[in-house]
Structure 1
Amino acid sequence: MRLLAALALLLGTAASAQPSDSIPLPEHPRPDFERAEWLNLNGRWRFAFDARDEGERLGWPSGTATFAHRILVPFSWGAPASGVPDSADIGWYAREVTVPEAWRGRRVFLVFGASDWRTSAWLDGVKLGEYQGGYTPFSLELPRDVSLGTAHRLVVRVDDTPHDFKLEGKQGYGKARGMWQTVYLEARGGDPLEAVHFTPRTDLAGVRVDARLREPAPRDLTLRLTFTNRDGQPTVTARIPRGATTARLDVPLPNAHRWSLDDPFLHEVTASVTGEGIVEDRVRTYFGMRTISVANLPGTTYPYVAINGKPVFLELALDQAYHPTGFYTFPTDSILRDEILRARRIGLNGLREHIKVEAPRKLYWADKLGVLIMADVPNWWGQPDSLGFREHEVALRGMIDRDYNHPAVFSWITFNETWGLLTKVDGRDRYLPETQRKVASVYRLAKSLDSTRLVEDNSVCCRRGHTETDLNSWHEYQPGWEWERLLDRFSDSTFAGSPWNFERPWTQGRQPMLNSEFGNVWGYEGSTGDVDWSWDYHRAVDAFRRHPKLSGWLYTEHHDVINEWNGYWRFDRSNKETGFGDLVSGMTLNDLHAPLYLAVGAPDLSTAVRPGTRVDVPLYASFLTSSTAYGDSLLLRAELYGWNALGERKSYATTTRRVPYRPYLSQALAPLPVTMPNEPAVAVLAVRLEDAGGTVLQRNFTTFIVEGEPPADATLATGERVRVARVPAARVADSRWSLKQWSILDGLKMDGAGSGFFEYRIPWPDGLDARQVAGATFLVEASAKRLNGKDRDSTMKQAGDYMRGGGFHDPSANPNSYPMTGDTKFPSAVTVRVNGELAGRWELADDPADSRGILSWHSQLRDRKLREAGSYGQLVRVPIPAAALAAAARTGQVLVRLEVDDALPGGLAIYGSRFGRYPVDPTVLFLLRDARPAATPR
């Protein structure tokens, strides 16, 4: 509860932007390894491009050259936040620096958080050194006799020339060019600490501490550790003998406060090195008292990732970790923190930082807020040669060394989808046995560097498998209707000794089996563009929870990027709307991520049924928690409600049932019998799982399409009797649109873009005497209709390598796309005329697509293509003027014209009874005179 309160406070105070006149990212970049005396060098630097690589010959290291640009460090050149366009592969930076007088007697270092790729630095024309590698920190020492209190010319050259072996990951989404993490000066002691690593004991009653010095000790030194937020602030010491560079301590910490997702407590430590004649070096750091292991799901033999010995069902998101203005670098620390908070806010327990070594402050916020991290090593895009593996090893070693103390990090992923590991043989990409053996050796290297975490050799995809690994993960992008069948097969194939998902001669052991990428972004032919993902996501998560061998899943992705739009949020971090709360009051994404989960209904999420039939609705309990707070049972509340062919919302039935409970229960329950409505309808079975006190623990739903012939005569819920006349949405008598007109699935939906009109001729019902008619209403489901990129007549072609930023950059251009409902609305307005009489004007708020478009999803063909899936409209009820009604009686037809004029040319979509949200065709309801309810006596 303390963490939830803190989350609410932090969410309310997240900053939106960095003031333009301040130093960007002023916070210390390494809360896990922080010296008190440091000077942030972020801000405006002079900058010049060196397209011909002649800066050194021209004397630029001296800092006297005129650099034409001003760049904002630490943003990559080319990123909007930097203020400098991307114009060359080599860039030079220059500024003045002053070492404070107070640092006298101390060693001074220039520290780079990360700089891509080959970095060199000079002070007053004297070269300090250079470093090759784009993702991990390095430091260069200033001369020992550097003058204090006076300005010096600092010049930095960064060469980011492309090489096939250079680690890039997905920098096609926005390159990391030059200094992209905080750069600073730092005062250190006489023999500075390079690392202090904390390894909790398996019994969590103490911690092993491994310290490493920058240089061999010139004489016997003392390492002192003070645990500053533990009662009594205990201090322990160890001797570092002359000539040694390392020291190890085993520190008992009885009853130590443990780190967990619900209580992410951090032990704060001050480490110092002292000795006779040696200036003290002092570092503030921290660690989390927790273990990562593999444990069986209780009551089963299914291995799961465990924290402190307790199995955790992993619910993660792929985090491409890009910002629209800063690319790899986020503008402020609060925005960076908000990325972690967003994951917590929707109920996720982890992120996979995708093929990018993430900034330490983001890992710090994951530590503080209790979000697990899978950490990827970036890939190169060339062949699997020694140059690529050498670059990879530098990044792997640097990442593990830097991030060892972050308790949030539970696994290292050394490769992704065999990128950089394929060899061209006879024109085909081959994952050669010698490369597989090399990958296995990299796994062993990572384990030798860190035996406390899980290591995955390759996050596998495309039917290429594992070698040596601690995780048996796989990527699968599928339509929602495929998941149940696939997970049946994957579960059946997962057991010790199985070769499934492994390269020969390797086989499965006791690795947890989990999905490590999914989403409908690639589940459909040619990918999806921006679509409603909520329906397929719901189907997938239901299926995952029905297969307990699966120890978790990882959704693609946290937020959209330039050519992938499957995120929980858009690239600008604006919201997407799932529609869940309209279908089940209070339901959010958190309900699909709840530890106590009840999967409801058939795998397809919508089932066609006949009126009045009894359906035994499947129920599956997935209670993946150790909590004993719920007794032995919970309460299920269910309501069947929906909309009929007259557009009426009705509640058809309610029921309650006790549901058995025990920790880690995962099994099918007795089905829930439900009787369907005795009329055509779209019905929603909304369920709530409650504890004994009435607190809702989880919400879910399934839907039914009750098929049948709609009535020609009906009694409304008000008691009024009506005669009904309707025509299919496709039966347009006349139309004209300024931009385009077309239909979906042979007329299930009619689209008109721009300004224009649709006209319908609805016959007067046979045998209906006009004298019986007291009034009439025209009923239609309609929405605005924007012209998406895919709907334009011009041919659009994907360009470039999709995984490196190619493809469509218009979210609506992909043939499958239909942008999901979001914060930005696309309104229109429709004027309705009936038999020439003005009936009124109605605002159409948006052109939405989400889970409320039940019929649109139900009608999709299973051919791996999407046709405006999830789109729907609003019910428009148009009172027909008396004059228009009289004209209809004379002419034998109701002529309805729906117009969008050029004052607000937002288009118009008309939905038929098998598309959209409501089972309604364009309909006229004739109210019969003898059907009016009797007046209530006063």
Structure 2
Amino acid sequence: MKTLLLTFCFYLLSNFCFSQNIPLPEHPRPDFERLEWLNLNGYWEFEFDSLDIGKNQNWATGNTSFTKKILLPFPWGSPLSEVKDEADIAWYKKEISIPKNWSGKRTFVTIGASDYETSVWLNGKLLGTHQGGYTPFSFEISDLIKKDGKGTLVMRVDDKRRDYALYGKQGYGNARGIWQTVYLETRGTDFVSTAHFTPNIDNGSVKLELTFEEPLTQDQKITAEIETPSGLLKKDFLAKKGAEYTSTNIEIPNTRLWTLNDPYLYKTKIKLSEDEVSSYFGMRKISVAKLPGTEIPYVALNNSPIYLQLTLDQSYHPEGFYTFPSDEFMKNEIQLCKNIGLNGLRTHIKVDIPRKLYWADKLGLLVMADLPNFWGEPTPQAQKESEYTLREMIKRDYNHPAIFSWIVFNETWGLRTKVKNETSGKEENKYLPKTQNWVASMYYLAKSLDQSRLAEDNSICCGAGHTETDLNTWHEYLPGYAWEDHIKTITKNTYVGSEFHFEKGFTQGNQPMLNSECGNVWGYEGSTGDVDWSYDYHRMMNTFRMFPQMAGWLYTEHHDVINEWNGYWRFDRSMKYTGLNEIANGMNDRDFHSLVYLSNGQDITHTVKADEEVSVPIFVSVMEDIKILDRVFLAEYKLAGIDQLGNSKTITEGKLNLPYEPWMQRSFDPLKIKMPSTNGLYTLTFTLKDSKGGTVYHTNFVSFEVIDGTLPKNIQVLEKKPTEYSSATWSQKTWTAMNGLKANGAGNGQFTYTFEGKTTVASSGYLLMELGAKALFFKDRAGSEIKNTDYMLGAKAEPSQNQNSYPMTDEKTFPSEVNILIDGKLTQTVKLADDPADHRGILSWHNQAQNRKLDEAGSYGYMVKVPLTKAQIKSLNKTGKLMVKLEVKGNGGLAVYGNHFGRYAFNPSVVLVR
């Protein structure tokens, strides 16, 4: 079992640094690219200015020698920058050389993003100063370039913390200073400042709007070229002298829509005299439509409702923090989501890097875009910062078809004001009506800037409500067992005119209602720590699909970060393993996100009695219009499992015909099924197919812990609870979980069990146990309490430090080797591959107390069967005793599981066969 990896391997680091001349050599904005440009990434001279003396000492002239080098575009303090974080102010310097063929052309330097106040000089002359941390800015250098084309570019960045500045969650890895590509480019005498394409799929056209940073010096002919599937499309139009804006409508024949499965991009060129800009757009429409056959509003893509299945993307990298090491890495971020069947992500409290948004456009993944927050109070200065950045992010990212909504605020962060309670005299943080009105105005600002997308005022949580919004979203982090009751409350109170989830004076309209943050990480005490995400996720998905009034969900989160370990992937994007295929053949993580889904309800494991007839609910949710000729689903089912004797059994198999309608959300008669006679853990697997069985749409399962069963007449079992050992000695620690359902020994040492009982004469037998390696996690050590819990600003904790944690199975294993001695003789050596925790630990999830605490949830071991020799059986028949010693020589430790914990429903046992 691994702890959080915070470094990339040397191979990956050297690959991007040395196989390319510079990091991130690609043009940073495929959506707004000029032909003549020069990337300035790479090593720059660098100096910290902790005493703020650089201005007075004329560092801006470029004559002062700097003592450090920094690798751009990585923020200082990030490992990839090769510079530690030592001060709030720093200076950058680089000698530049302008290509000869640029002579006489207007030349600009552009900084993709730099946090927070950035001043730029060329050859000692101030070009300008910019405030803000997330969007690009440019300065012209044409008149300051020397005759030989060379110059000294100097930048000073002041990144002191300011309560009004949009800091977001940078405590997870600060975006200090320059953190996006710096480049030079040429522009025309008259040049395009923005080129925005607004598609209209209903009439097969696109509106092109151009702005000019300066009024045009003369009448200009503008040519728009669009590459279409049927050839090059050209449109010429005129802009008058003095114009700062112009627009035109362009018909797009035989429109090819941008969809998630076919994310077609129309490549474009805008030509204005000697200025030329390349861009692209997607022909797609974002709107609200009803789920067919209902009055339920959904977000719609191209006039068709889409069930949103999203993930929260903190968009961090362990080595580059806000900045990714390569374009391929950014592409993979999007592809990872596609691989498991998600259709979108929410870039959280960060204006993301344009090339990452490009890959969302290119690969077909929806994006919710957040405005970063300030952490002070909503002062006029903070409001000004928010308004500026909202304008700039929409201006920059307007052409990305992947973006379907703008989120202005998150969980009311920065929106509360300290006021004195008139009764108690104590200060309280209040979300004041005047602030609510400003939040509503920010929604209207977003809508005025972009009417082609949805906008949300505040992604609500923790007692605050909505004002004006296109989406009725809410956050909730709950244990898996609590979802059904909560969603019943939500859906009951969601209707036009309701004040539920809205601030006083505002009411619900016809907005789609969806959960925009969920997961088990905050559903248990504290931050929960590193825990198997899949079991509660399974319960959550099963429940969500039974309530179509909820138009989608957003899981926290895409990848682990420094103090949240609930990602689908580790921080370094290595794999976590759910183990679904070993529970239900053919099932994988994509089945959680299938648009055709068969749910058996919130509770995915049940404790039942042997031979009991059980009613299994069946609910089918279809979130698309699939074509099935005879409109019938075939649901194949199979009940199988492993009994208390360690034997694999198939109990029953069958088929159900379920009538199908497009977009149906339907409950069918429950399946009546009889449980086996022998105790064990059994899984009922459903495979939903078309009626011919050729296409598999979905696989799901529900499990049963069978108790109070009987044994075959020729079988006798001698068993011990895990804690009923006769001796235990461990070098690091010995302890139990779940009131004795599991025994743990860390380091090297041994457990000895003495099996006793009056036996009948046995002809054969075997030792049966569930064993796993056992790491001594941080939470099980002395002094492991978490003292700093300011998680939103980057409080540090170990992945296994929270008392609820048990790190999930991943690519790094924690193995152990156990010698099994029976009656003092070495009988077998068993290699235990890991100390795992995932969905396969069904019993250690199912039998947790429902008190918002976890005790080694999801942990499990490996089935160990050791045949007894004839001599051992003879001795047991004679003495009625068998001594079993489990001995670990290395430091891999040992966990011994009981019949109500782990993966198998048996205690440490000696099974005897007459």
Q: Same fold (TM over 0.5)?
A: yes
Residue 765 (str. 1) matches residue 758 (str. 2): yes
Q: CA deviation at 1:19?
A: 3.0
Q: CA deviation at 1:17?
A: 4.2
- Structure 2 matches for 1:68-107, cutoff 5 A? 68-107=67-106
Residue 290 (str. 1) matches residue 279 (str. 2): no
In the alignment, the residues of structure 2 paired with residue 895 and residue 630 of structure 1 have an alpha-carbon distance, to the nearest angstrom, of: 64
- Specify which of 775, 782, 786 is matched with residue 793 of structure 1: 782
Residue 40 (str. 1) matches residue 33 (str. 2): no
Letter of the 2:172 partner, please give it: Y
Long gaps (5+) in structure 2: 1-11, 420-425
**8 Å contact kept, 2:636–2:654:** yes
- Structure 2 matches for 1:454-493, cutoff 5 A? 454-493=454-493
Count of matched residue pairs = 895
- Structure 2 matches for 1:236-251, cutoff 5 A? 236-251=235-250
**1:153-190 residue CA offsets vs partner (Å, 9 max, x unmatched):** 11011110111111111100000011100000000001
In the alignment, the residues of structure 1 paired with residue 316 and residue 337 of structure 2 have an alpha-carbon distance, to the nearest angstrom, of: 15
- Specify which of 392, 396, 401 is matched with residue 395 of structure 2: 401
**8 Å contact kept, 1:366–1:373:** yes
Residue 697 (str. 1) matches residue 697 (str. 2): yes
Letter of the 1:741 partner, please give it: T
In the alignment, the residues of structure 1 paired with residue 326 and residue 269 of structure 2 have an alpha-carbon distance, to the nearest angstrom, of: 27
Residue 19 (str. 1) matches residue 17 (str. 2): yes
**8 Å contact kept, 1:532–1:849:** yes
Give secondary structure in 2 for the equivalent of 1:415: strand
Report the more deviating stretch, 102-111 or 782-791. 102-111
- Structure 2 matches for 1:855-874, cutoff 5 A? 855-874=843-862
- Specify which of 723, 732, 743 is matched with residue 736 of structure 2: 743
User: Residues 74 and 630 of structure 1: is their aligned pair in 2 closer, same or farther, counting only changes over 3 Å?
Assistant: farther
Residue 555 (str. 1) matches residue 533 (str. 2): no
Give secondary structure in 2 for the equivalent of 1:210: strand
Give secondary structure in 1 for the equivalent of 2:409: coil
Letter of the 1:751 partner, please give it: N
In the alignment, the residues of structure 2 paired with residue 546 and residue 124 of structure 1 have an alpha-carbon distance, to the nearest angstrom, of: 66
- Specify which of 301, 307, 311 is matched with residue 305 of structure 2: 311
In the alignment, the residues of structure 1 paired with residue 619 and residue 264 of structure 2 have an alpha-carbon distance, to the nearest angstrom, of: 35
- Structure 2 matches for 1:712-727, cutoff 5 A? 714=712, 721-727=714-720
Letter of the 2:146 partner, please give it: S
**8 Å contact kept, 1:316–1:352:** yes
Q: CA deviation at 1:883?
A: 4.0
User: Residues 150 and 104 of structure 1: is their aligned pair in 2 closer, same or farther, counting only changes over 3 Å?
Assistant: closer
**8 Å contact kept, 1:638–1:685:** yes
- Specify which of 299, 321, 327 is matched with residue 327 of structure 1: 321
Residue 914 (str. 1) matches residue 912 (str. 2): no
In the alignment, the residues of structure 2 paired with residue 483 and residue 135 of structure 1 have an alpha-carbon distance, to the nearest angstrom, of: 37
**1:28-83 residue CA offsets vs partner (Å, 9 max, x unmatched):** 00100000000000000000000011101111111111111110000000000000
> What is the match of residue 217 of structure 2?
218
Letter of the 1:748 partner, please give it: L
Letter of the 1:640 partner, please give it: L
- Specify which of 895, 902, 909 is matched with residue 883 of structure 2: 895
Letter of the 2:94 partner, please give it: R
> What is the match of residue 793 of structure 2?
804
> What is the match of residue 813 of structure 1?
801
**8 Å contact kept, 2:91–2:154:** yes
- Structure 2 matches for 1:120-269, cutoff 5 A? 120-144=119-143, 146-147=145-146, 149-201=148-200, 203-269=202-268
Q: CA deviation at 1:657?
A: 1.1
In the alignment, the residues of structure 1 paired with residue 203 and residue 54 of structure 2 have an alpha-carbon distance, to the nearest angstrom, of: 55
Q: CA deviation at 1:149?
A: 4.3
**8 Å contact kept, 2:644–2:906:** yes
> What is the match of residue 927 of structure 1?
913
Residue 905 (str. 1) matches residue 885 (str. 2): no
Q: CA deviation at 1:890?
A: 4.3
- Structure 2 matches for 1:598-617, cutoff 5 A? 598-600=598-600, 602-617=601-616
Letter of the 2:47 partner, please give it: A
> What is the match of residue 726 of structure 2?
733
- Specify which of 825, 829, 838 is matched with residue 837 of structure 1: 825
- Specify which of 355, 364, 375 is matched with residue 369 of structure 2: 375
**1:205-249 residue CA offsets vs partner (Å, 9 max, x unmatched):** 101111001100112112210113353412112211111111010
Give secondary structure in 1 for the equivalent of 2:294: coil
In the alignment, the residues of structure 2 paired with residue 724 and residue 269 of structure 1 have an alpha-carbon distance, to the nearest angstrom, of: 75
**1:709-736 residue CA offsets vs partner (Å, 9 max, x unmatched):** 553xx36xxxxx3322112222111111
> What is the match of residue 934 of structure 1?
none
**1:675-721 residue CA offsets vs partner (Å, 9 max, x unmatched):** 1111212110111111235221111001111111553xx36xxxxx3
Give secondary structure in 1 for the equivalent of 2:228: coil
Q: CA deviation at 1:148?
A: 5.2
Letter of the 1:754 partner, please give it: G
Give secondary structure in 2 for the equivalent of 1:120: strand
**8 Å contact kept, 1:777–1:926:** yes
Letter of the 2:896 partner, please give it: I
In the alignment, the residues of structure 2 paired with residue 723 and residue 395 of structure 1 have an alpha-carbon distance, to the nearest angstrom, of: 73
Give secondary structure in 2 for the equivalent of 1:467: coil
Q: CA deviation at 1:16?
A: 9.3
- Specify which of 737, 740, 752 is matched with residue 745 of structure 2: 752
**8 Å contact kept, 1:837–1:883:** no
> What is the match of residue 659 of structure 2?
660
> What is the match of residue 628 of structure 1?
627
User: Residues 800 and 584 of structure 1: is their aligned pair in 2 closer, same or farther, counting only changes over 3 Å?
Assistant: closer
**8 Å contact kept, 2:201–2:283:** no
Q: CA deviation at 1:204?
A: 4.5
In the alignment, the residues of structure 2 paired with residue 255 and residue 413 of structure 1 have an alpha-carbon distance, to the nearest angstrom, of: 33
**1:281-339 residue CA offsets vs partner (Å, 9 max, x unmatched):** 10001100111000000000000000110000000000000001100100000001100
**8 Å contact kept, 2:266–2:280:** yes
**1:735-784 residue CA offsets vs partner (Å, 9 max, x unmatched):** 11111111112111111111111111111325x2xxx3323311111100
> What is the match of residue 436 of structure 1?
436
**8 Å contact kept, 2:768–2:864:** yes
In the alignment, the residues of structure 1 paired with residue 693 and residue 682 of structure 2 have an alpha-carbon distance, to the nearest angstrom, of: 29
Q: CA deviation at 1:651?
A: 0.4
Report the more deviating stretch, 140-149 or 679-688. 140-149
Residue 784 (str. 1) matches residue 773 (str. 2): yes
In the alignment, the residues of structure 1 paired with residue 738 and residue 275 of structure 2 have an alpha-carbon distance, to the nearest angstrom, of: 72
Q: CA deviation at 1:659?
A: 1.7
> What is the match of residue 108 of structure 2?
109
In the alignment, the residues of structure 1 paired with residue 83 and residue 387 of structure 2 have an alpha-carbon distance, to the nearest angstrom, of: 32
- Specify which of 421, 438, 454 is matched with residue 415 of structure 2: 421
Residue 350 (str. 1) matches residue 337 (str. 2): no
In the alignment, the residues of structure 1 paired with residue 267 and residue 373 of structure 2 have an alpha-carbon distance, to the nearest angstrom, of: 34
Residue 582 (str. 1) matches residue 575 (str. 2): no
**8 Å contact kept, 2:763–2:873:** no
In the alignment, the residues of structure 2 paired with residue 162 and residue 413 of structure 1 have an alpha-carbon distance, to the nearest angstrom, of: 24
**8 Å contact kept, 1:15–1:334:** no
**8 Å contact kept, 1:832–1:838:** yes
In the alignment, the residues of structure 2 paired with residue 871 and residue 663 of structure 1 have an alpha-carbon distance, to the nearest angstrom, of: 40
In the alignment, the residues of structure 2 paired with residue 133 and residue 800 of structure 1 have an alpha-carbon distance, to the nearest angstrom, of: 28
Q: CA RMSD in A?
A: 1.4
User: Residues 655 and 909 of structure 1: is their aligned pair in 2 closer, same or farther, counting only changes over 3 Å?
Assistant: same
Letter of the 1:512 partner, please give it: P
**8 Å contact kept, 2:122–2:144:** no
Q: CA deviation at 1:621?
A: 0.8
In the alignment, the residues of structure 1 paired with residue 585 and residue 624 of structure 2 have an alpha-carbon distance, to the nearest angstrom, of: 25
Report the more deviating stretch, 215-224 or 127-136. 215-224
Give secondary structure in 1 for the equivalent of 2:458: coil
In the alignment, the residues of structure 1 paired with residue 796 and residue 180 of structure 2 have an alpha-carbon distance, to the nearest angstrom, of: 29
Fraction of identical pairs, as percent = 49
> What is the match of residue 6 of structure 2?
none
Letter of the 1:498 partner, please give it: S
> What is the match of residue 522 of structure 2?
522
In the alignment, the residues of structure 2 paired with residue 631 and residue 40 of structure 1 have an alpha-carbon distance, to the nearest angstrom, of: 59
In the alignment, the residues of structure 2 paired with residue 75 and residue 390 of structure 1 have an alpha-carbon distance, to the nearest angstrom, of: 28
> What is the match of residue 66 of structure 2?
67
In the alignment, the residues of structure 2 paired with residue 134 and residue 454 of structure 1 have an alpha-carbon distance, to the nearest angstrom, of: 24
